[in-house]
Every structure is written in C-alpha cells, then in structure tokens.
Chain A
C-alpha cells in the first residue's frame, strides 16, 4: 500500500538542526488546515503563551497542492498574539508550489534563534544564516536583500518575511509572501518575530514524478480542470475587476463599512471603486504559482517627491479588503491615496484590515476627545491620507505607548482608552462586510473571525427568514465545505469549480481513492479537530461580544435586529461547543 503519511520538515531554530518526520495520514488529515491542526495537536503547547519559544509556527500544504490548477495555497497554523488561541492564516504566492517541489508537505519552525536569522529550506538544503543586519528593515527591503543573500532558484523560490510590526510583536503583524501575498490576519508575523526569524526562504528546486499511476489520465484531467478555470465565465470576476468589483455593489446595498462604520455607503464611493482602480491605476495582473486566473491586481502608485517633476513609482497590490480598510473605513475616498496607504502598511508588515480598522477607531476616539494629540501624534481625521501614512509607521514601530497599545488590537486599546462601543471588532478587527446579522454573528464567533470562514455575507444578501437554527446549520455546513478546500489546499476562489465529484476525481488521479470516498468524513473530522485545538487554547465563544456600533448599522434590509443577532450567536456558540468537544478517552487512545 502506498505511503500516505506527510513529509514534514521541523526546523529547530535554537539548535540549527532539523528533523524530517513522517507525520499523520493524508486519508485522515487531508493537508493544509487539517494537517496544521494535527501538527499543532502534536507540537503545540496549548496552555503556554503564544510567545513561548517552543510554540510551533506551521506552514502546511495539501495532498493536491500543485497537482491541479488553483491548488495553490498554504495554511499557516500558530498560536495567535491577538487572542493567544490557536489560529490559521492562508496565503498564496509561490510558497505552496515551492514547498511541494522542495519535497515537504509542511515546514514547522520551533524554538528561537539567538539572533535574527533567515532560514532556507530547499530539496537538499536546510540552513540558517545571520540576518541581524536586516532587523528593522521593512518588508520590501528585506525581500530585496534576501534575494541577494540566497541566490539561485529565481522564480522557483518563495520568500517569506516580516517588517517592523513583526519585530515589535504587534498582534496583527503579517508575514509577507513574495511581495504581493500575505499571511495577513491574527499576527503570524509576530510569531516569526518572537522566534527571531526575519525571513524564511523555500526553494522549490527538486524534481518529482507525476502523481498516480496513469500519467495520461492525469494529464487529461488536469486539462479539463485548467479549461474550467480559464475558459468559463466562472472565474471572470476574479481576474477582471477582481474583488474590488465588490465596492460598488456593497455600497449600493448599504453594506460598505465607511468612516468607522458610522455609514454603510458614501456618495464619494466611486473614487475607490473597482472600476476606478482598474481604469486609472491597474498596470498588470499577476498570479500565484499554479494558478492561471491571475487575480492579483497590481496598481501603480506615482508620487511626486520634488517640485520639478520628479516622481517615484511603486507597484502596489490591491484587493477589496484593503480598499475597505485603508479607504472607506478611514474616509479615504481616492484610489491613489488608498494605494499609498497600502504601500506603507506593506512596508511595516501589518495586516491591512486590522491596521485600517485600528486607525478608524483611533480617528473617532481622537475626535471624541478620548485620545490626545500627544498620543496620536498626527492629525487623525477621516480622509487625511498624510496623517494616516505617518500613523501607520508609528503603528508598525509601536512608536509610543498609545501606538504600542493600538498594535495589540483595537479591543485592547479601547479597553484602556475608552470607546469600546465603536471599536469595530468581531473577534478581530472587522472585515469589509456590513451586510447584516448573519455576517456579524459569523465573524464574531467563527474560527478565523474571517469573512472567509463561511459565506455569511452572501447569506445576508439573500432573502431569508430569521431562523437561527437554519443559519447555524448553514454556518457549520459551509465551514465544513471550506475546511475540505482549505485542507487540500485550494484557493477559495475556485470553490465554484472544485465541487465534490471533481475533487474525488482529482484525489483518485493522485492515488488517494480512499480519501476520495471519505472526504466528507475527513473534512468533518478536521473541522472538529480545528475547533478542539481552538477551545483547548482557551477560546470561550460565550465571552465574545458585538460592540454597540454594529447594532446601529442600517443596510438595504433595514435596521439590525439585536434579538435575532443574539439568538443566532447563542445557537452558533452551542454548535461550536459541540464541534470542539473533547474526544472520548477511547478515541484518543486509538
């Protein structure tokens, strides 16, 4: 029988050694989300803080990674500095295929380097190099220097790095992946930072045999999937305007969080619409390795730095979530200004969504006199791009006590300075969908506190009876479907193509017929494993709250219904408790 264990590289940063481990079972853990949770179950320290040197920082791909188009993502598993619980973040770029061709299903960083290092993992290399000289450098400069420090494998190499925010241990420091992609949410960058890892380079320099036993059948199936991804209309929205195409429709539905959620639409919306970005600033698209869709939209930021017609230009990737957070949410209704802020956030190595929501809260708190000018240092006012640019630098560097507090999260800052009513936090700083009760309930409780945990924002936009039981069933089932995809690990944009019959064909083609038969069971088990890890690390869903500002929101469907929202949350809490219930003793021993 074929070996269905995962090949995992565990790097011990304190010893400069690595273990190559056969871990788990593809038929059980699938990969990605499931594999990361299983690795955390084995190597994580649930009751120790996130900053404990032995906490693992896990990067996991899945059993279909690279074998089919859009199987192109990586799941990062870690204990989050945002809430000190087990968390996941997802990223694309070249990382997934680089890991595949380096020959690893997962790379785990353990321990803490004595001084800042860059770690290099390739098919025949595992090494660390001094990177002390890079400490303090922004994420873009770090990428440039690391390319020189680790020559070779150009185009087949993925460079992960952190900026100042990861060094100052912000609760929402991201890990930048290959310039344009990120492990954005919940602070993975600080887990890298606390381990003294400035960069991780994965070189996909190994060669492998085709999967399965029938290379012709595999090539034929690949072609079919490829054509579905490129020739049909299904993926158009991702490569045409891309996710920024959501700005105008959400605005029309009164669901675009604007000016710290004091509004859900804005007459100046057109300045930051997907159409405006595409028409005025888009210079090209780029793609994750293994994905022909090319959804990454790169805009041109042109800034005049001297009077005499001296300009600098920069390429900045934009997406809906960034436009919401660094545009609408802080009243910056000009696309070029948005790009300038995205660029600064990129350099600091911050999660763009959390950074934008943090600045939005700080602006309102400052306006209301809860914060002093001395604390915020800049004239924080909705629409003041120059002030926000400086503030982002302050946030990344945790410049003074206030910014250090704000870098710990909006909830943390609001607890200290006041303004909790208008802190737009749903577990973490909100995503860009003020669509209604279903989304607010989902994001406040769900696993990643992310808009991608479930399609709740879509559920809100459809006519539905306010039935908490039905909505909860939807959350649980939709999450399970997504866990299957994030375990394989597919881009969630491909969920319209990768339906279960096709996934089963793909799994058979790569020699995993047992998983093809049992994918529902495996997905459910991994869903449960994730929640078990989350609860084991201290998650108490009962303690999550909905700040008052969310109850004041008005959408196309009218005012929020607090009773329905609360009933929905209670129902979902019960479901989460059931999903994450500890295993009976006998199952643990198996």
Chain B
C-alpha cells in the first residue's frame, strides 16, 4: 500500500490546486478545507508553504480516539474512514498530532485516504505516492 507524502514542499507555489482537487474529486465539495490535504502558509507567503495531511501513522491515534470504528487502521499506514459509522463526535481531530483531520461545522471529519488523486494537480511535483519504508512503519519496540 502506498501513502501520500508531501516530500518537496520547498517547491510549493501556494496554488492550492491539490486541496481543491481533493475536495472536488474525493469529497465532492468546493472548498479549501473539506479536503484531505490543506495548504497553509507558515507566517506569510515569504516563509513558504506547508501541507497539512495525514502522515500515515501506524498505529494511528485518531483510530484509537474514534469510539465507533468509523476510523480504522489502514494496512501500510493511515486510516480507512467509514462515514456511515461516524457519529460526528469530533474526537478524531484533536487526537491527530499534526492537525491533519479537518472537522466541518457539523463535525464531519475530512482526512487524507492516500488515494493520490491530488498528485496530478501539483504543478511542481511537491507530492508523491510512495511505499512507506519498513523501518518507519512501526515505532518503539517493534523496531527494537
């Protein structure tokens, strides 16, 4: 299973095409926010841009926080989201250490599902789909 990485954000020009593409294609929304990837400037445009997106944790804290199993662990990192199970409690978002889960005004969560549909819309190849390396797949004792 491949994961999405924003590997070359130093190249980002701040066009937001990726997050607009995710909202449009994956979530059927027209939005900057209801998307699995969101672009922020880190203190004004001169400081460049950063991407807020799921870093494919394994185990994922948002899965632990979800009381219904709407968020479940995705093989190879990241999460699977079943919206039918979501009770919109909003516990997933604060559990994420990198602010990758966005809650809309009804507390519906939006998070990257590592589908890679945004990649084609980055004009500078900031984004890529790649295999998560084995040695970072799991931390702590597993790595010995």
Contact = CB atoms under 8 A, between A and B. Distances in A.
A340 interface: no
B39 A210 contact: no
B49 A155 contact: yes
B129 to A, nearest CB: 18
Contacts of B33: 101, 156, 205, 207
Interface stretch (A3-11, A184-192, A281-289, A428-436): A281-289
Contact of A97 (B16, B40, B105): B16
Interface string A173-193: 000001110000000000000
12 contacts: A97-B16, A143-B44, A155-B14, A155-B32, A155-B38, A155-B40, A155-B49, A205-B33, A226-B17, A230-B123, A290-B15, A293-B15
A287 B34 contact: no
A294 B12 CA distance: 10
Interface string B54-76: 00000000000000000000000
A286 B31 contact: no
Given A210-B24, A215-B28, A154 B41 contact: yes
B30 A208 contact: yes
- The number of chain B residues touching the other chain, given as a range, is 20 to 34
Interface residues of A, number: 43
Given A155-B38, A207-B34, A208-B30, A286 B14 contact: yes
Given A205-B33, A210-B29, A289 B14 contact: yes
A69 interface: yes
Interface in A543-585: none
B15 to A, nearest CB: 4
Interface string B112-136: 0000000001011000000000000
A-B interface, 10 closest residue pairs, ranked by CB to CB distance from nearest: A155-B40, A294-B13, A292-B123, A287-B13, A287-B15, A207-B31, A208-B30, A315-B46, A154-B40, A207-B34
Interface of B: 13-17, 20, 24-25, 28-34, 38-46, 49, 104-105, 121, 123-124
A155 B32 CA distance: 9
A154 B32 CA distance: 11
A222 interface: yes
Given A178-B45, A292-B123, A66 B17 contact: no
Interface in A162-212: 178-180, 204-211
Contact of A292 (B15, B46, B49): B15
Nearest to B41: A155
A291 B121 CA distance: 11
A284 B17 CA distance: 18
A254 B42 CA distance: 44
Contacts of B104: 207
Contacts of A298: 46
A293 B124 CA distance: 10
A234 interface: no
B40 to A, nearest CB: 4
A285 B13 contact: yes
A179 B31 contact: no
A67 interface: yes
A211 B121 CA distance: 19
